[in-house]
Structure 1
């Protein structure tokens, strides 16, 4: 349930300072660390010359003049490079009091385009790409001193990069997988020893262990009301398209449904090897009819899905049933829950567990009630085709070019993003399959020494600043205020990477159970899914491990986990544009400090506020404080719902947690920076006619420099709990008194409206 700063994984272009972490079975939650740059004297002189030219672009606005005499100037290589970037990114012809995003990022937008294969592009992506290039170079070069886990990782990387070899195998890997789960007569994969397919067969349960997400997801997560205990969780699942609206909204479905149909037909044809393996359906194959049936079934599911907004309420998604109650309930009455759950635990080698001892959290009971009515409308043949399709769907990205071509055609039509350079796919796969080995490489050769300590000190300052703001809060009563201050003091943190990555045996044990000795890409992916599901189920009955890293450390992201009252700052994000140890404090706090403040504020957003200092979902505020809090959050919902891009409006309810965190993050980080600065005047940047306070806000604004395609926005706004970058800047700063004072914005200008949303 964790909340991250960006949204989702970078390759899906939907993550960063967000909502919930990946501690649970349905968890889904990257940026970039640059290699150290040594700038010789000639390059320093060239950079200074470039800055001198760029500084001519600065328009001296009386309202924003810094009156900076440039007598105390930072001339280190880090500051010179930073000043150059700041000036290039800005558009100083824009009034910062009218559009601070464009003022901060207009130059960057004019100099950039969205690369092929992407639906959006920004500084997050640039950092992610720099990180991936660094990892690629490390994987490309074999060293005799490499530990065994790194050698395995290299074999896996080489197998992934061998697209000719993957293409030559054709459909063989996926056909073999289908054979292991009972076959699929439709595409000519027979398994005569397997009984006829049904929801009650062992093959159905087996396919779920291979990652089949049809109809529902089932796994182990932390108990929201007892954070020291794991609990089984059931939730809705089983759509191919990214959101229910993709099926039910005619304006979206006119594009998404034809694209999905063509995708299904192409993949079925390739698996069946019809028409020369081109992906074109042979006459009379019946694949188009099958695709129509799968889409019809998924449309029926979409109509009963609980909305993303409703899923944000942790009380509404906490519904306990013991196994007997579940079996006798109205939740998908045709399915044998007892048999499925007990056999799943047995397959995970949990031994005999009495049904009376099992209590399950059903996150979406209304979905399962309605599923009973959907299920009876489809025969066994349609159901089998649907479930087999969802098994195949999990592994298409690990096949050859003939499969990737229709896959990227589909994602381009539906998501606005498609094929990128192969090494990016392979590095991302390694981060999924062997994340700690990749982290070992990155930590040893890329991460700047001392980063952990620097970040830890900044995080400590952020926590102090938030506590100070709480102590001055005017809407919380004294009891709630004190409890909230305690909660901040009780927040734990994990920074950069786990210490275990220095243990060679630990790395080898984590890798050898997944990666085959030959590094076979497809089967390593399969092993990763099976082992992950088995390890997840084996958590039942064990103590909760709160120091588990649920996201690869090299991902460009940060997140807060309310169940643990913990925030995590991954090493992938600990570099420019977020952090450089050589930057002045105002820029470090305007960039990374806001990230830290954002994650801390998640502990007090519409979801995090419901969890106490021990991560327990329980009423711990007084009713009076809760009522005032809810009344204040309405302002953010109304504010952000007014923003739109390409004619698509932001969903203020879906994004309210992230919007609250953005607002609290900026205010907290600004106070932390002022606390650190004290009465001293920090050094300015060369040729940048802005004072330190102004540069704090520029640092925040430039983190979110980004470009979007209409297709990406149309899909993204339906599922992503984060607002697009421009409105993360405009929304948060138009609520900031500190911003409007710093830039001397007149009353009732766009960035200084009379009505401001204020919470933390």
Structure 2
């Protein structure tokens, strides 16, 4: 690794801070004596930082619909277990004129953002330890930038209080209808007040694009934005300016010398129970992947994901889709109108498996990065150039019909999700690896491990959130009133079941995790049905492991979700995450109860 280049990052950072022109916490690059609070402009500062991918006050890349299967090191979580043609799917998916509007609804979204601690709940009554972790982190960074410890802490206490006030106007859990609020720019400006000029902000961010008062934006959290001006105006300009720089700085810590990353560890200890930094090379690799992601994905796929694996997963997912459509005929509370809508949506669902076919063509991969300049020994400059490159791509694609060659997630990433605005299931090659998947697994294990995951994502299209989108990704109530009411009543049992669980002295919130719980239970059921209908019996048994295929199926499901988590990370997820921590326990309890009840009724065989 080029450690010298990393060490140069502080000097370049100070130059960038000087260009941005506000920061009074430490002397360089701008002394408080030369900083004029009266001439400082919130508007200009927002534009400058957002063009460098800050998320101060607002995030216009709303990710709340993504699944929680993403592997996030910050959670202190260590996993124990270290034929549909894609081109045809993409063509079918983009064939409808309504698609442009459906994409636009999901992509042009403004949502609350800008909290160091990540969640409004982290600033609550029990936040003393978190506050100390926050201030320890911020103070060390300020001192590393040349400030005195006492001055830095005093000013960062003001910034913390400002963030705490922002957390008070944060909106809690919402369903999709609550998050879909169309505003034209004129009405959004009235909602927001005079704190920021929206038209000017958008014109400067998306240079070359024209906006007028009739341009529509989906405002996910209008209550937040209606109160934001009052919070900002209640603070002095110096505190707001320091907050904005602090928000910007946090996204750069990983690119700075190790001392800055050790400062961050002060907060991560409190939030997630982390006690050590990851090896530096891992972040370097991650940074390179972030800058030239498709190039990294091409290398990964070439070495770790053969075409035969892609075909096998596609076949398994198609079998699961067939079972879902068949299962709809068994649901007594569905009327024929709604049943038909659900079948149409399932058939229209796009499946992106493994990687796009063009990824194997070297010239096409190289072409994507023709305009990106990378220089040896200039880590921080390369970071800034890659951010500028990405921003230019976003600007170029703004308000256009999406290119099916651009996947929502890079193929090498360990993630999986259903996207309701796209009616799309994405299973990148990164997650289609052991322990989740191997083409050499017996079918019983493969369906129990990966099949349950595929069924999970498909079920998301019809859970309490996904059901509100039609087959084109357009949002609105799709079901007849009687069916919608029956569905709502059916979810009460699942909410109660999960709320009855507790861990670390904390009760789970069945409402908060309902979407994931429906997907977990539905996905397992679909995978088991698909396995029973299509899976090949295991040819042999290992000595001492004389399990039936059904037992192997459930063992596979259980083992793949084994994990080790710090108590701090566990509590953090209980309070903030959409997925239930006791994933395996809760789902298997449902299976046992359902099967036991069926046996009592004399219906034990094939009840799932």
TM over 0.5: yes
Query: Do the aligned partners of residues 714 and 681 (structure 1) sit closer, same or farther apart at CA in structure 2, a change above 3 Å counting?
Result: closer
CA displacement at 1:301 relative to structure 2:
0.5
1:704 and 2:561 equivalent?
A: yes
In structure 2, distance between residues paired with 1:657 and 1:722: 8
Q: What is the match of residue 258 of structure 1? A: 132
Q: What is the match of residue 394 of structure 1? A: 251
Cα displacement string for residues 627-674 of structure 1 (whole angstroms, at most 9, x for unaligned residues): 111111122222112222211222222211111000001100000000
In our comparison, the structure showing a higher alpha carbon Rg is: 1
Q: What is the match of residue 730 of structure 1? A: 585
1:189 and 2:29 equivalent?
A: yes
For residues 60-459 of structure 1, the aligned pairs below 5 Å read 161-167=1-7, 169=8, 171-187=10-26, 188-190=28-30, 198-218=40-60, 226-229=101-104, 232-248=108-124, 250-251=125-126, 253-272=127-146, 274=147, 281-282=148-149, 286-307=151-172, 309-310=173-174, 313-327=175-189, 329-346=190-207, 349-350=208-209, 353-417=210-274, 418-459=276-317
**What SS class does the counterpart of residue 12 from structure 2 fall into?**
helix
Query: Do the aligned partners of residues 630 and 422 (structure 1) sit closer, same or farther apart at CA in structure 2, a change above 3 Å counting?
Result: same
Cα displacement string for residues 312-339 of structure 1 (whole angstroms, at most 9, x for unaligned residues): x111111122122222x13243322222
1:591–1:700 Cα contact (<8 Å) kept: yes
Q: Once structures 1 and 2 are overlaid, which stretch shifts more, 332-341 or 360-369?
A: 332-341
Query: Do the aligned partners of residues 604 and 553 (structure 1) sit closer, same or farther apart at CA in structure 2, a change above 3 Å counting?
Result: same
In structure 1, distance between residues paired with 2:594 and 2:544: 22
In structure 1, distance between residues paired with 2:554 and 2:471: 31
CA displacement at 1:737 relative to structure 2:
5.7
Q: What is the match of residue 482 of structure 1? A: 340
1:270–1:403 Cα contact (<8 Å) kept: yes
1:720 and 2:577 equivalent?
A: yes
1:440–1:501 Cα contact (<8 Å) kept: yes
**What SS class does the counterpart of residue 487 from structure 2 fall into?**
helix
CA displacement at 1:300 relative to structure 2:
0.3
For residues 489-528 of structure 1, the aligned pairs below 5 Å read 489-514=347-372, 516-518=374-376, 520-528=378-386
Q: CA RMSD in A?
A: 2.9
Q: What is the match of residue 138 of structure 1? A: none
CA displacement at 1:746 relative to structure 2:
9.0
Q: What is the match of residue 69 of structure 2? A: none
CA displacement at 1:506 relative to structure 2:
3.0
Query: Do the aligned partners of residues 459 and 220 (structure 1) sit closer, same or farther apart at CA in structure 2, a change above 3 Å counting?
Result: closer
CA displacement at 1:434 relative to structure 2:
1.6
Query: Do the aligned partners of residues 655 and 525 (structure 1) sit closer, same or farther apart at CA in structure 2, a change above 3 Å counting?
Result: farther
For residues 571-650 of structure 1, the aligned pairs below 5 Å read 571-650=429-508
Q: Once structures 1 and 2 are overlaid, which stretch shifts more, 473-482 or 179-188?
A: 179-188
CA displacement at 1:354 relative to structure 2:
4.3
In structure 1, distance between residues paired with 2:120 and 2:99: 26
1:220–1:537 Cα contact (<8 Å) kept: no
Question: Where does the alignment leave 5 or more consecutive residues of structure 1 unmatched?
Answer: 1-160, 275-280, 748-757
Output the TM-score relative to the length of structure 2.
0.87
Query: Do the aligned partners of residues 732 and 399 (structure 1) sit closer, same or farther apart at CA in structure 2, a change above 3 Å counting?
Result: same
For residues 528-567 of structure 1, the aligned pairs below 5 Å read 528-567=386-425
2:186–2:214 Cα contact (<8 Å) kept: no
Q: What is the match of residue 665 of structure 1? A: 523
In structure 2, distance between residues paired with 1:376 and 1:179: 25
- Count of residue pairs brought into register by the alignment: 566
Cα displacement string for residues 522-568 of structure 1 (whole angstroms, at most 9, x for unaligned residues): 22322333333343243333113355212221112211111111101
In structure 1, distance between residues paired with 2:268 and 2:297: 29
In structure 2, distance between residues paired with 1:745 and 1:621: 29
In structure 2, distance between residues paired with 1:369 and 1:565: 31
CA displacement at 1:452 relative to structure 2:
0.7
In structure 2, distance between residues paired with 1:477 and 1:239: 45
1:684–1:692 Cα contact (<8 Å) kept: no
Question: Where does the alignment leave 5 or more consecutive residues of structure 2 unmatched?
Answer: 66-97, 601-606
Q: Once structures 1 and 2 are overlaid, which stretch shifts more, 504-513 or 458-467?
A: 504-513
Pick from 469, 491, 499: which aligns with 2:327?
Answer: 469
Output the TM-score relative to the length of structure 1.
0.70
1:170–1:402 Cα contact (<8 Å) kept: no
Query: Do the aligned partners of residues 688 and 560 (structure 1) sit closer, same or farther apart at CA in structure 2, a change above 3 Å counting?
Result: same
CA displacement at 1:383 relative to structure 2:
0.9
Q: Once structures 1 and 2 are overlaid, which stretch shifts more, 667-676 or 514-523?
A: 514-523
Between 1 and 2, higher relative CO (CA 8 Å, sep ≥ 6) is seen in 1
Q: What is the match of residue 85 of structure 2? A: none
2:417–2:457 Cα contact (<8 Å) kept: yes
2:55–2:114 Cα contact (<8 Å) kept: yes
Cα displacement string for residues 376-427 of structure 1 (whole angstroms, at most 9, x for unaligned residues): 2111111111111111111011111121111122212222234112222222
